[in-house]
Chains A and B, each alone.
Chain A
Amino acid sequence: MTSLPYRIVEHPADTGFEVWGDSVARLFEAAAMAFFDIMWRLGPSRKGPPRIIEVTAGDREELLVNFLEEFHYLYDAEGLVCTGVEILTITERKVTARAWLRDFNDAMDLELLSVKAVTYHQLFIGKKNSTWEGRVFLDI
């Protein structure tokens, strides 16, 4: 069994996750995976054509918040869930990703947690030895 590249962190009123990867790109992909796993349990589906997602920010931490918020918005406003994401390019202030999105399906998908927002609370991205580590808390 492959272990997941994230760990859920909880306090009484908080849910968040710690995440890691061998590059910033892998870290962002792992954060997206953690975020989706917290929000949904999705049924099987065939991968449709991907959509290009482009997000900008003032620094790397804010970029991670904005990146996750993008998927949150697509879900809350358009009812879209993400079944896969691949970072194409990433700098301190801009990320471009390929994301596979589809409509949420009441019959086979389960909503696990209502997330109000991705927060800046104890937000962190850093490099320890050769591993990139990050931490994100969600308002729920």
Chain B
Amino acid sequence: MQELNVHNLRQIDRYRWLVPRQGKMRTDGMVFLDKRLLEHIKNDKSITQVANVAWLPGIVGRSLAMPDMHQGYGFPIGGVAAFDPERGVVSPGGVGYDINCGVRLLRSSLSRDEVIGEVENLVTTLFANVPSGVGSKQRNRKLDKNELKQVLNRGAQWAVQNGFGTRDDLLHIEESGCLDWADPAAVSDRALERGQAQLGTLGSGNHFVEIGFVETVFEEELAQGIGLFPGQVTIIIHTGSRGLGHQVCSDFLRLLQHASKKYGYELPDRELCCAPVHSPEGQEYLAAMAAAANFAFANRQLITAAVRRTFEQVFGLGASKMGMELVYDVCHNIAKFETHEVEGRKRELLVHRKGATRAFPAHHPKVPEAYQQTGQPVLIPGDMGRYSYVLVGTDRALRETFGSTCHGAGRLLSRHAAKKAAKGHNVVRELADMGVVVRGAGRATLVEEIPEAYKDVEDVVRVVHEAGIARKVARLRPLGVIKG
């Protein structure tokens, strides 16, 4: 394996850089960056990882990376790659450990002025209602394995049927909150055991629930189409499949190490282990991955119910009276079968997105009815002090990136460097001075997640907007955050 870096890139235009095919690459790579973002990755291995993905059998089109790309495991974070289901492979490294880590956005009919005096109360109540932090567990809700398997089969649909939301919610989730090819029998006992007490919990690290408001609308018509207006209170939920998903990934990395040898694949990185899509190993991974994805959909649905309950407790009104509707729920770490046009021909492909968001345009059959005119909402969280973005998918994304765009800001500082930068600072007070009330399960997480630890998400969003692989709709400003 040859190490590549920014000097191996060939600039195509202001935001597109080719990683030319060489050595055992089966295709070119393409990364979306501007010069400022390029600086951030010049010392990591993410460009080599884009090239490594291009080694994989059956890859269709280019090995891609979005502008929030950085070094990951196997695939880079921000990586997108599509594979032919007949000749190609599936790789757990193209999905990641936190299967279906994702983001959902709720809107309300409340204005910033109506909640500003209650933010402290909302954050405290939310913190009590959503178990958070390292190893967070539900104290009173440990599902038995049969019930958990129902969750794995039906995802957010299970949650709604059990009183954690409305049927309308399901219309506003990628894949309606359920991958129907899931098979809980493919999930190990160990993964089940890790998931039994973790449904409806936030977890740790960069996972959060954020109460904010629409600070800026970039395109009035699109914002209206998504139901957003200036000053409107919104809620973002960012979490995934918790220990269950991590265990599924670990289990199948182990299994697919052996499968890769069995099928005679030459791989530049063990984390890229893979199996033919139609092999028994590939099918088993896809069934288990879908089950874990469904757990994540249900997890975000239960946290949505806790958010609605929180607002009801604080304001003494029903959630529907406060217009607390789901705008959309997107997956960041997933592999899915999708139909794409390749060289003028429609083909079914297995698209891996690892730290990337699906961004389908208006009139696409997979976009919910409510967004047929606007395009699919794309939710891009920033750090806890600055802002997040709502975008929509575009035709150009569909043509160039298998309908994919960025997923977030990406870290700038290591956790150790963040701790060092935060030394002597009172993070909670400084954020309060910026108008953001923060509650974190542990001081360790808070200092590691200081705004300075992340790139400015605006830099990432500017690139996808100007490159045409998503379109800016609105910017959201945080008021209160609970961190895991």
Contact = CB atoms under 8 A, between A and B. Distances in A.
Interface of A: 8, 10-15, 57-58, 61-62, 65-66, 69, 73, 75-79, 104, 110-114, 116-121, 123, 137, 139-140
Nearest to B250: A117
Nearest to A119: B73
Interface in B365-390: none
Contacts of B246: 76, 116-117, 139
B135 interface: yes
B169 interface: no
B339 interface: no
B414 A58 contact: no
A137 B246 CA distance: 15
Interface string B215-258: 00000000000000000000000000001001101100110011
Nearest to A69: B250
A13 B250 contact: no
29 contacts: A8-B416, A11-B414, A12-B44, A12-B413, A12-B414, A12-B417, A13-B411, A62-B254, A62-B257, A66-B254, A73-B190, A73-B247, A76-B135, A76-B194, A76-B246, A76-B247, A78-B193, A79-B135, A110-B442, A111-B133, A113-B134, A113-B415, A114-B134, A114-B203, A114-B445, A116-B98, A117-B249, A119-B73, A140-B415
A111 B412 CA distance: 24
B271 interface: yes
A114 B204 contact: yes
Nearest to B251: A69
Nearest to A121: B73
A8 B253 CA distance: 24
A112 B273 CA distance: 30
A104 B158 CA distance: 32
Nearest to A66: B254
A14 B484 CA distance: 18
B431 to A, nearest CB: 21
Given A116-B246, A121-B74, A77 B271 contact: no
B97 A12 contact: no
Contacts of A77: 190, 193-194, 243
Contacts of A110: 442
Interface string B316-343: 0000000000000000000000000000
B417 A139 contact: no
B77 interface: yes
Given A77-B193, A117-B97, A11 B71 contact: yes
B72 interface: yes
Contacts of B273: 120
Given A73-B190, A114-B204, A116-B97, 11 more contacts: A10-B417, A12-B410, A13-B71, A13-B410, A15-B415, A61-B270, A62-B257, A73-B247, A104-B135, A119-B97, A140-B415
Nearest to A70: B190
B205 interface: yes
Interface in B22-37: none
Interface in B394-413: 410-413
B70 interface: yes
Contacts of B73: 119-121, 137, 139
Interface string B190-201: 100110000000
Contacts of A123: 270
A79 to B, nearest CB: 8
A43 to B, nearest CB: 16
B70 A12 contact: yes
Nearest to A10: B414
Contacts of A137: 73
A58 B273 CA distance: 14
A66 B246 CA distance: 14
B412 A113 contact: no
B128 interface: no
A139 B97 CA distance: 8
Contacts of B416: 8, 10, 15
B444 interface: yes
